[in-house]
Chains A and B, each alone.
Chain A
Amino acid sequence: MSSDKSAEKYLNLKTKAKEKMESLNEKTVVMVGAATCGKAAGVIDTREALKDEIEKKGIDAQVVEVGCMGFCYAEPIVVISKPGFPSLCYGSVDEGLAVRLVEDYLVNDDPCFEYALVALEPNDYFPVFTDFPRGVYEKKIILEQCGFIDPEDIDHYLAEDGYEALAKTFEIQPEEVIESIKESKLRGRGGAGFPAGIKWDVCSKAQDDSKYVICNADEGDPGAFMDRSILESNPHQVIEGLIISAYAVGASKGYIYVRSEYPQAVRRVETALEQAREKGLLGDSILETDFSFDIEIFEGSGAFVCGEETALINSMEGIMGVPEHRPPFPASYGFRGKPTLINNVKTLSYVPHIIRKGVEWFKSIGTSDSPGTAVFALVGKVEYTGLVEVPMGTSLRNLIYDVGGGVPDEKDFKAVQIGGPSGGCLPESALDIPIDFDSLHEAGAIMGSGGLVVLNEDDCMVEIARYFLDFTQKESCGKCTFCRLGTKHMLDMLGEITRGEGELNHLDTLRELGEDIKKGSLCGLGKTAPNPVLTTLRYFKDEYEAHIKEKRCPALMCMHLLGFYIIPERCSKFCSACVGSCPTEAIYTRDDQLKAIDQEKCVKCNSCLFACPPEFYAVEKLSPAELVEEREREQG
């Protein structure tokens, strides 16, 4: 393989890209975070306001659309790089603020620090990431460029050493690439944490005239959006990883399996593939070597189970997306019966970094058995929701309290649900567990694909378990007995418990059946579906018992076990806010002009609770529901 030529060709591309970027940076650049999340938060209006105002004022500045920086709580996000100033990032930029930033900053040199979140480079005026706890604990590898480069312009990626790893790869033999990945101990980020190098090795050793590589971007977990964000923010990183994997195992065709509910990701990847082809980084004779490889996008129809690799392959072959027994594993018998390497978006994203910066560098981050970082979609009852990337081994406590800023509204932390719908709920006592594949598994949760939901005192653990099981039960393909029927029985029992119709022996049945479903199911969906139930039974059994024995929901969440009561001492004769808010006319005015609720008519919708003005704060939720009667009796 003519590696000299490919190195030269690459250097050429990079030099040109750098020149272009330098000339771009000579003037003011305004970057707007326009991944799907930013757009949902209204960044299009912000962008238009910026553009209009810039034009109106006749300023020489360019507005560039970038991806997602991971600060969900502060969308829409805008970064302004003005020569002579540090680059500044602004949060919650609506049209009004956009106009003001142009006027005050771009025209008049006032950076409006009061609206800035963070500066991107060290400076004398404004704190940078590492001045915040989040910046101290975060370590960005695969999210590093997300939100800072234009995903629709390959030169942005090239200028940041993009595709250098690919050029480097061509200088070594495929076996050496595999050896590096093996040595790096990179583990699959699609859920199971299987060592990538071993899988690559098996696929490379499989004897066949054609092989495939597939990037799994199905991302079916509710609440998970890291793969989408990476594809929308830095698609070339994934593409580079996929090309390297293809070279390593000897594949000539690759697919990126994206769900069709991710139209913007699909579009950006398409653009990226096109640009990579134009630059000779994809297609025939890549970088003028004799290695040819191309990538196609396959749009999945969005079934959770189609993220499972054998179901994914079935769906690509045009048959029903149901899992198959393994072995044979796809690495030896996959798409169209050919050896097929399947890796997750994040797994592939690490590859260029490992090749470029070296195995030792990668192993120096994280823990010895799970090196590298973990990417989480941090959501729920936490101050700073968003996408975060921390070294493996970081404790859940650091992640939730330091990176996430803790539980808002002075509420008490109750649990963290980790690993998506098939993960587990861990209590306060588990917060010092270091995050890695093995220790989470031991605690009954899983790393999964990286969903992390923080729950507080207002969350009922029985209802949470029921909610997640409801998802997996609906997404079960129905092929195998345990998952099809077992999850339905579990769900029915949980429903009974949350309605106050449960029996104590349900708890043993739930545990036994959950264990059997885990052992007996055909695929990973069934093997993990009972986790939310099993972990809540393990850590929050008292809540289950309260529902069953006392018909009481301690978190005041399960509707059937609640009653609403208006406290006469707090209620005002002169206010009737609640009366109008009630959809069923259950609230009536008593003879003394105070309000009361007709329990027969009440549907427990919470409307009166929100309608009652804070100065009165007269509506009270009670559980068990009988408490209302008791109160009324006391009142006489």
Chain B
Amino acid sequence: MSDKVTITIDDCKITAPEGEKLLWVALDNDIYIPNLCALKEKDRPSASCRLCFVEVKGISDPVTACTLPVTEGLVVKTRSPEVDRLVKTAFELLITDHRLGCKKCPANNSCELQKISKERGLKYKSKRFKPFEKDEPIDESMEQFIFDRSRCVLCGRCVWVDHHVAEVGAIGFSLRGIKRKVTTFGDYDLADSPCTECGECVKVCPVGALSFNE
């Protein structure tokens, strides 16, 4: 097995397997770092949500914890003015592209965005940026679950499990930039795709974009 190393996160000494990504070491030790796109089983982190920034001793700019393998003597702070600034901006940006209305959302109280907001004291209303007012039709073609694209944060977890756990390949990313979205081949409803309704994707959705029917 791999060697153990000792690292320090927010003044706590922690032993962890060498090379494990910092994000998982922290979360396993009940130290919260905001994250949306990370999946432990995924070898190469997608590092796309840009929320898990931490400050590492000896490195000037904040580093994403999901990509940082732990090494002996690593000293990390999960909070710093610079980290907080980046996390705040990333959160604000995501919120401008996310249909709010938590009360009506199936993920209310289990949503990762709510968790980040609570842990870091971040507001749902941005003073700086105007919301994009996303309003896409909801895909209700399936029996087991629905897909509400206006709540999707493009973390890509569903796509990865669809490909690597369910091994179906019903969904993927299409288009680029601000138009990027999770969709089926040909942009059809899920019911007209190879989807088997296994529900793996719903289980990993950090927000209320994919949710089981009551």
Contacts and interface: CB of A to CB of B under 8 A. Distances in A.
Contacts of A320: 172-173
Interface stretch (A128-136, A469-477, A602-610): A469-477
B166 interface: no
A578 to B, nearest CB: 40
A512 B92 CA distance: 13
B15 interface: no
B47 A516 contact: no
A415 B155 CA distance: 40
Given A325-B44, A325-B67, A480-B50, A492 B130 contact: yes
Contacts of B96: 485, 489
B48 A488 contact: no
B1 interface: no
A485 B47 contact: no
Contact of A475 (B46, B177, B179, B180): B177
Contacts of B128: 509, 512-513
Contacts of B132: 488
A69 B160 CA distance: 50
Interface of B is mostly: loop
A527 B96 CA distance: 21
B93 interface: yes
A127 B51 CA distance: 62
Interface of A is mostly: helix
B47 A482 contact: no
B178 A488 contact: yes
A614 B62 CA distance: 59
A222 interface: no
A68 B49 CA distance: 45
B180 A477 contact: yes
Interface string A308-335: 0000000000001010110000000000
Interface residues of B, number: 35
A481 B36 CA distance: 11
Interface residues of A, number: 30
B117 to A, nearest CB: 15
A520 interface: yes
A478 B129 CA distance: 18
A284 B96 CA distance: 57
Nearest to A476: B177
B154 interface: yes
Contact of B86 (A478, A488, A516): A516
B45 A477 contact: no
A482 B90 contact: yes
Interface string A487-525: 011001000000000000000010011001001111000
B183 interface: no
B175 interface: yes
Nearest to A516: B89
A508 to B, nearest CB: 9
A499 to B, nearest CB: 15
Interface in A289-322: 303, 305, 320, 322
Contact of B180 (A478, A492, A509, A512): A478
Contacts of A473: 177-178
Contacts of B172: 320
A478 B177 contact: yes
Select the residue from B129, B177, B178 with max chain A CB neighbours within 10 A.
B177
A479 B46 contact: yes
A520 B154 contact: no
B97 interface: yes
A482 B87 CA distance: 10
A486 interface: yes
B90 A520 contact: yes
B154 A484 contact: yes
Interface in B171-187: 172-173, 175-180
B94 interface: yes
B177 A324 contact: no
Contacts of B48: 479-481, 522
Contacts of B173: 320, 322
A470 to B, nearest CB: 11
A282 B110 CA distance: 60
A489 B177 contact: no
B150 to A, nearest CB: 14
Contacts of B61: 519
Nearest to A326: B67
B180 A486 contact: no
Contacts of B177: 473-478, 484, 488
Given A513-B128, A520-B50, A520-B86, A481 B176 contact: no
A172 to B, nearest CB: 37
B180 A479 contact: yes
A564 B179 CA distance: 37
B211 interface: no
23 contacts: A303-B176, A305-B176, A324-B47, A325-B46, A325-B64, A473-B178, A474-B177, A476-B176, A476-B177, A477-B177, A478-B154, A481-B49, A481-B93, A482-B93, A484-B177, A484-B178, A485-B93, A485-B94, A486-B93, A513-B89, A519-B82, A522-B47, A522-B48
Interface of A: 303, 305, 320, 322, 324-325, 473-482, 484-486, 488-489, 492, 509, 512-513, 516, 519-522
4 nearest interchain CB pairs? A478-B180, A485-B93, A325-B47, A476-B177
